[in-house]
Structure 1
């Protein structure tokens, strides 16, 4: 059994992870990890307990991608029914076993490539969430800087205008004029 997980959204991008056997034995216990891949050889029959814990982060929620892969030998019945469908009635000089082996190898490689593509999509989703979060922060602080810039510009215009204002009153000064007799 293979268990893969990755935190693709939320603050800190970390989570606690644990895996218990059906008898309650703790097999894996990790604290505040952003991703992990664990391979377990199941020794007991029953339900294994998989737990993602975000109790240390009471404010933010997390988005977790996880995948469980089970590698088990193929059923004998499936192999026999497939072999009956493929084998010709009269034996030819073709090595059927080699063809079967090639097809099984191709099948397992295709399954693994599908799993890898799913994992890469999870990485892309995490990166996209992080990028969108950063874009929001950049837009917010750009708006704040633009507001400060506009306020400073108006303040400078007001200050320059007040430097050149003439605060004296305009009007006619009344001085007494004496007229001398001729």
Structure 2
């Protein structure tokens, strides 16, 4: 089993007070991979994960708090999301398990975010937002949606590409097997026909 700090891995993002880590990792068969992050009290964190390749595209996942209380526990999930607000300070652990698989390794994508987003514009202002400020806020919200959509499309593309490559591999093996079978059948038929002519020639010679 592996235990790794999230802050030291993946693509670390800091956007308006929200810290996040994105990473894609290999999960061998009969193995478990755990990540941890030290969080303060009353901090909200979000976890998104998806199995990109391997077997039935499923994995076990569980999340525990610093006292090893289970906050989330799901088995054989292809993808899921989980949100929680911390009740205490300490190391929170996220684990992915492929121990139920005996020969298939998995590729898993995970995104871990924590913190509260700071408003783009101060909320203590007594005056209304100008048209430019309103446009900035709208663009900011749209860009957040675009970023989430790009992540989903990227994961879907990786998932579909893996399935296509696996299908191509199976078709290649099947075609190779069919080709070998055709050669074997062809050679067998030629040898069978030759045996017929050999037997006929022998019977003619015996009668003469």
TM-score (norm 1): 0.73
Structure whose alpha-carbon radius of gyration is higher: 1
2:182 and 2:131 map into 1 onto residues whose CA distance is 74
Unmatched runs of 5 consecutive residues or more in structure 1: 84-93, 174-182
Q: 2:151 aligns with which of 118, 121, 131?
A: 118
CA change 1:45–1:119 in 2 (3 A) is farther
Cα RMSD for the two superposed structures: 2.8
Displacement over 6 Å in runs of 4+:
none
TM-score (norm 2): 0.65
Q: Note the alpha carbon deviations across 1:63-92, whole angstroms, 9 max, x for none.
A: 1011123461417xx856xx9xxxxxxxxx
Identify, as 1 or 2, the structure richer in helix. Answer: 1
Q: 1:74 aligns with which of 118, 129, 147?
A: 118
Identify, as 1 or 2, the structure richer in strand. Answer: 2
Q: How many residues align structurally?
A: 158
1:24 equivalent in alignment to 2:68: yes
Unmatched runs of 5 consecutive residues or more in structure 2: 1-44
Shift in Å at residue 107 of structure 1?
Answer: 0.8
1:105 equivalent in alignment to 2:135: no
Between 29-38 and 160-169, report the one with greater CA deviation.
Answer: 160-169
1:65 equivalent in alignment to 2:109: yes
Shift in Å at residue 27 of structure 1?
Answer: 1.1
2:167 and 2:195 map into 1 onto residues whose CA distance is 42
2:115 and 2:153 map into 1 onto residues whose CA distance is 21
Matched residue, 1:167: 202
